[in-house]
Every structure is written in structure tokens, then in C-alpha cells.
Structure 1
Amino acid sequence: MSATAALALAGCAPSTTGGGEDADASAGGSAGADTARVGIIYSETGPLAAYGEQYRAGLEAGIEHATGGTGEVDGTTIEVEYRDDAGSSDTAVAVAKDLIGQDYRILGGTVASGIAVAMAEQAAQNEVLYIAGPAATDAITGVNDYTFRSGRQSFQDVATAGAMLEDRSGKVVVFTQDNAFGQGNLAAVEAVLGSEGAEVASVLVPEDATEFTGFARQVVDEDPDLVFVAWAGATAGNMWQSLSQQDVFDSAPVVTGLADSATYAAYGSAGEQISFLSHYFPSAPDNEVNQALVDSVTEAGGTPDLFTVDGFVAGQMIVQAVAEGGDDIDAMIEALEGWEFDGPKGRTTIRASDHALVQDMFTARLVQEGETWTPEVIDTYPAEQVAPPEASGE
């Protein structure tokens, strides 16, 4: 989103400030009783910066929608401070401690699973509300009373993939990055498909790898009946090209999550061979809230995408917490636990027992129109059908 668009949106939704020592004094120190300060820690820079931009655009649209364009709840202004985690857990934790030291009682954000785990720990230690962003790791569901999520989790991805398969037996190879996100997906495949009789193997790729030929060959050598790919970041294009060159698509059906729109062309001819599970794309849901998301982000000069919805839902959750809880953390938690609301994906529930976000999921295909690839919904899987099992908690 351009700077001009960001300023235009800020004028009709929440007041916003940038990070760093030169930020306006109103973003730190004491605040009046009529201001609810929210610290958003997300990837403004780093390998997942594109996801961070989507999340921020959605967050601003969500607060705008939930407050009727005022940026206020019963006279209380929601003031958002944005800080960059640069894709680093250490940076995120340092920023979180700084904001908590300035008496910020609501924190949100991060697109990286490893960072979300670290942020959840800070939330519990300091007794502040934390609403994670697109980070998909199952580990933060039920981790503590203070941590919620505004996006889906890995189990929901895998449950959707499992719902697409008629035969759950055979050998499933998980091809993913060797990080919290990838390990979470592997664990989810083992939990969902492994429990139903599938043999689960894995090819874990170092997160900093840029050459994937050897790893793709390992997939073929495993002689799979199904390949489940979980991938995030800018190397997706090279990765898919390597899978195609090493004939992975000839060895077994390939299932993966539909990533953001920047990746559609990167699938190349393989796009027609992949079965996609989908968390969100702008034309998937058909309801008034989703239309509000699309209209708001578009009018601000942005483009709705995969993780815009997670920001939007975070905005709705922040407004609900402030509206019902004021500045009392326990009351905020109570306001969110068990809350059912209309989100961009339809009826959405925050499960009271472990804070899982129970929501619909989709399957999709990519259709080529000239030089453009466009996703189309195949099926919508109801929220309860793909809901994760209840986490045991601490």
C-alpha cells in the first residue's frame, strides 16, 4: 500500500503512528482514558514483508468497518502504533517489551510462526492481550489465556486437504521449509492423515535455501502417493519450477495451499496440475463483510489478497475487546472468548476453550485467462468440518 493511501485511510479509521524514538509522544507514555493504544508488530521489512503489507491494509479496513469509519468505540479512540519485526523473533520481543513498558495493553501482528510463539510467551509473562496475525502454527492455539489468533492455523489447512482426498491410505510426503511454519504443517499432516492410516514422510528444506533441485529429487525418490507442499516467501517460484523440472507432478498428485496473488504466475503450467486448498482470496466469500473489506482496501489504493482477511478480523477483534472490556485485560479476554461474529469469510467463532478461530475453508483451481491466472472456488468446507481439535492448554 502506498504512503498516500495509508494516510488517506488513517484519516477515516484509527489514528496511526510509526515506530521508533521519533514517533509522536501520544503513542507512548501516558494516555488519556479516551484512548486505547494498540501495538502492531509485523513484517514491514524482511522476507515476509509482502504478507505484512496485506495484513496492515486489512487491519486498517477492519477497524474502519467495525467502528463505522470513526476509529472510535463509545468515545474511545483506537490509536495504532506500527512496529517492524523485520522477520526476527529477537526484534519482535524487544519491540514488544518496549511497548509493554509504555503500558500498551493490546498487541497484535506477525506473519511468522516462530515470532508468534515468542510473542505469546511475552503476552503471558506480562499479562497483555495478544492477537496474532497470519502466523499459522498450531502451537499458539490454547497456549495461554492471553493469546488469540486472527487467521487460520495449519491444522485447518491440512484438514481441508484431507477432505479433498478420497483415499486416505498410502504414503504422503510433506515438502516444506525447516522452520516453525513447516514443522507445524508436518505435525498437522501427521495428526490428520497419519491418524487415518497414511504413512507420512517429509523433505524439510533449509529456510535460506535458494536451490531446490536436490530436494525435489528426494520427493520423487520417496515414491509418494501424495505430495503435500507447504511454502511461504519469495522463493516459491523457484521451488515450483524445481518440482516441475524433477517430474514431481508425474510421480504423485500434489496438494498445496493457494498463496497470495503474486505467486499465481509462478506455478507456471504446474498450476493446472495442483489441487489447492485455500484460506482466502477476495472472490471466494460472498457476503457484505467481505465486500466491505474489498471496497475499503481498494478505495485506499491497495489490493485485497491472501492475508488481508487476517488483518481485517484482527481489527474486528480489537474493537470488540475495547468495546466490551475497556482497559481491563480480563474483561477483554472474556469479551473475545466464545465470540461469534460475521467476518469476511462468513460466520466465525473464537472457541472459548482454546481461542482457535473456527472458520470456513475453501478448495480452488487456477484458471488461465490470457496471461493472467485467476482462482475459482471449487468447494466451501464449513467451519466445524475443518475445525482443529481442542488444545489441552498450558
Structure 2
Amino acid sequence: MRKTVLVLGLALLFATSGFAADTIKLGGMLPLSGRAADLGITCKQGAELAVKEINAKGGVLGKKLELLMADSKANVQELVSLSKRYIQKDEVNFLFGVVSSAGSLAVSEVAKQEKVIFMDTVGSTDTLTKEKWNRYTFRSGTCNSQEANSLSLYAAKKYPKLTKFYNLGPDYEYGRTMWALFQAKTKEANPKAEFIGEQWPKLFIPDYTTYINAILAAKPDAVFCSLWGGDLVAFIKQAKPYGIFEKMKWIIATGGDITVAKALGGDMPTGMIVDQRYYFHWPESERNKAFVKAYMADYNDYPSAWAAEGYDGVYFLAEAVKKAGSLDTDKVIAALEGLTIDAPRGKATLRKEDHQLSSDFMVGETVFVKEYPFAIVGNTEVFTADRVLYSIEEWKKAQEGNK
């Protein structure tokens, strides 16, 4: 009897070990509830599509990808707990996801301590890959400098008479960094620029009346706004009856987000200067068309930028493991550094030095066209990474204070 139990126990152990050995685990953490849910859910869907495509072709090194996913609730403490659970209990090979910049910084610190690779998808603060850089963190999405600098250059070129700027941004890492970057680049492009006020609402507040009235009273030429997701939708709905979008120019980071455009429908103001980190209608490449078609087939919707960042993040990891020929952390890091993939957004490279995504970036203005029931981005201009992404020289200088 004891021999039978021993044999069964060993069989179970081998079966369990075999299952674990046959999968490559990604520990996903994204907000799947609350105002940030649209970002998290579509990023999750993009990642799931990539996993499906890769596994359909046999996986990587004979192993299938397995995407674990948990609701981070856009909460930093929750992200730290999830990261540690994934590593210590689920024994994931990679940490994956995150939407907020503050959360990305927290997860990156866990990755550094535990020596586990973290693929950040949406959290975009420059600090992650610059001042707080570590060798275990990579980013498949664009960063704040690409976004703020592109918006600034577009506004300065198209609307040189705008000189008085006001800020409306979320009161945390992302909003503060975006405003600082926008001010610096705008002053460089237009020495006459003035920055006459700033407002810092907390994330997910229900009422923006105080902020709307403050902006109207200040009478700026333009407002730089870095509210995002559900907060941006709520603000626009509350502000539109005041006629505020006709009284001044609006420059909105991630204002071209399709999830925002769909939520607002015909209420989306036109003529706002906006960006987004990926567009389903640009570039008009076969790779992008194939991605949009596959995403539409699975989810009956157009992919958001967040979906593309999740999708690309999985492909970067899969290609790196394939190139490394191993799941050894040091070998995968070496393979990720400088890796280029053919992404829906076009050629996408993880820079060797700082692990930041380098790719083209497009800015334009909100317009309605007959093909879609929601606003898209028109009157566009493309900015190459070398024009708007912080330089490797800047990165090297930042490392002097990075312990």
C-alpha cells in the first residue's frame, strides 16, 4: 500500500512538474474595474491575442505562454502584493502590465529586488527608464517625453499665437511629469510662452466644477490636460456645457484614446490637439491591418493603444526568449536589449541602454469622419523618436544619481 501511494505521489509530482515546465508564465496586473478599467481590459485583450497567436504557432521553445491576470484596481499597494504573490507563489517567469506610472515604479522596485523581468505596458513616466532605471525593467509603450514633447512641438508649429498656457493634470507622477516636460519644450519652441496657472485634481474624483470655474476665470489661450481614461470622459462631459472647449485651445495627452472617443460619441469636442500611443487607422501597413482584423474578430471592437501596448509587450518577451534560447534571466535581458519587432505601430525597438521603446509618434486634432461614429485623430503629424524621446546622453547623466 505504501509503495502504491509512493508511486502515485511521484507520478503526481512529475505530472505537475511537467505542466510547469511546459508553460512560460506572465504575471499580469491591470485595472479591470473602476474608471481605469477600459485601459486595463483592452490591454489584457491585446496581450491575450498575442498569447493566442504565439501558442497557435507552437509557443516558444516548445512551451506555451500562459497569461495570468489579476485586477490591480489601479492601486499601488495592490500591485506590490500581486507582484510578490506572482513571484513567490505562482513562480511566474515575467511580471507584466500595469497602467499607472506610480504603480509601474513600485512594481519595478519589486522586480529589481527579486531579479525578475518586468514588462511595463502602459505606465509611462520617464522616471521608470531614466532616473529609476534598473536592468530588470523594460517598457513596450511610449513614455512621457515622447508624448509631451510631440504635443508641444505640434502646438508651437500649428498655433504659434498661443502664449498663455494653463495646466489641468492628475495629482501624481504622470500628471506632474507631463506638465514639467510640456513647459520645458514649449518654452524652448516659443520663448514668449507663459504658464499662468495649474490645477491638480486627485484621481477618480466625481466633480470637476471647481476646476472648470478656475480655468474659465484664468482665461488662458490654451489648456494642457493630462487627465486620462474615465477621468477625462467625466471631465469633458461636465465641462462641455460651459462652452470651455470653444473659448480656448485644448491640448490633451492621450486625448485620442479610442475608449474615450467611444464613451463620448458625438459629445467629443473637435479641434482639440491630441495624441495617442497607437492608432487602429495608422500606419496603413499590412501588419497593422492584420492586427486590427484579428482583434476585431476576437472582440468585435477596434483595438485601443492600450491593446497594442499589451500585444507588443507579449511579442517582445516571446521573441527575446526565442532569441536567448532559454528562460535564464540574464540571457533574456541580453536578448531584449536592442530587440526590434515588426509591431502594429511599425518598427519598434527596445533601446539597449535604457530599455525604453523607441518608435514613431503621431499627433493631430479631433475630427469626425463619415466612416466612424466616434471622433478620430486628423490633421496629423508624425514625430520620429529621435526628435521627441529623451537622449541616451540624458539617460547616462541621470544614472549618476541612480543607486
- TM-score, normalization by structure 2: 0.83
% same residue: 22
Residue in structure 2 matched with residue 264 of structure 1 by the alignment: 261
The one-letter code of the counterpart of 1:316 is Y
SS at match of 2:200: strand
Residue in structure 1 matched with residue 170 of structure 2 by the alignment: 177
Residue in structure 2 matched with residue 273 of structure 1 by the alignment: 271
Write 1 or 2 for the structure with the bigger share of strand: 1
2:282 and 2:288 in contact (8 A); partners too: no
Alpha-carbon distance, 1:106 to partner: 0.8
In the alignment, structure 1 residue 90 sits paired with structure 2 residue 77: yes
1:106-127 superposed Cα distances (whole Å, 9 cap, x missing partner):
1110112221111011011111
Residue in structure 2 matched with residue 222 of structure 1 by the alignment: 218
What is the correspondence of 1:186-335 to structure 2 with a 5 Å cutoff?
A: 186-196=179-189, 197=191, 198-200=193-195, 201-256=197-252, 257-264=254-261, 266=264, 268=266, 271-303=269-301, 304-325=303-324, 326-335=326-335
SS at match of 2:46: helix
The one-letter code of the counterpart of 2:88 is G
1:26-52 superposed Cα distances (whole Å, 9 cap, x missing partner):
9x9896444322211111223311211
SS at match of 1:173: strand
The one-letter code of the counterpart of 2:166 is V
- One of 134, 139, 153 as aligned partner of 1:149: 139
Structure showing greater Rg: 2
1:63-116 superposed Cα distances (whole Å, 9 cap, x missing partner):
344x37335112122222212212211111111111111332311101122211
Name which of structure 1's ranges 357-366 and 305-314 shifts more when overlaid on structure 2.
Answer: 357-366
**Alignment partners' CA distance in 2, 1:158 and 1:53:** 25
Residue in structure 2 matched with residue 8 of structure 1 by the alignment: none
Write 1 or 2 for the structure with the bigger share of helix: 2
**Alignment partners' CA distance in 2, 1:334 and 1:51:** 30
Alpha-carbon distance, 1:368 to partner: 4.9
The one-letter code of the counterpart of 1:199 is E
**Alignment partners' CA distance in 2, 1:322 and 1:191:** 39
In the alignment, structure 1 residue 38 sits paired with structure 2 residue 31: no
- One of 42, 49, 57 as aligned partner of 2:45: 57
Residue in structure 2 matched with residue 69 of structure 1 by the alignment: 56
SS at match of 1:279: coil
Unaligned stretches of 5+ residues in structure 2: 1-12
Residue in structure 2 matched with residue 123 of structure 1 by the alignment: 111
Alpha-carbon distance, 1:151 to partner: 1.0
1:338 and 1:350 in contact (8 A); partners too: yes
1:173 and 1:228 in contact (8 A); partners too: yes
The one-letter code of the counterpart of 1:208 is F
**Alignment partners' CA distance in 1, 2:372 and 2:146:** 32
1:301-330 superposed Cα distances (whole Å, 9 cap, x missing partner):
342123111011111111022212322111
- TM-score, normalization by structure 1: 0.85
1:36 and 1:322 in contact (8 A); partners too: no
In the alignment, structure 1 residue 339 sits paired with structure 2 residue 339: yes
Alignment RMSD? 2.6
Question: CA distance change for structure 1 residues 47 and 272 in 2, over 3 Å: closer, same or farther?
Answer: closer
1:160 and 1:381 in contact (8 A); partners too: yes
Alpha-carbon distance, 1:269 to partner: 5.5
Instruction: Give the aligned length.
Output: 368
SS at match of 2:374: strand
**Alignment partners' CA distance in 2, 1:119 and 1:71:** 30
The one-letter code of the counterpart of 1:83 is A
The one-letter code of the counterpart of 2:172 is N
Alpha-carbon distance, 1:338 to partner: 1.2
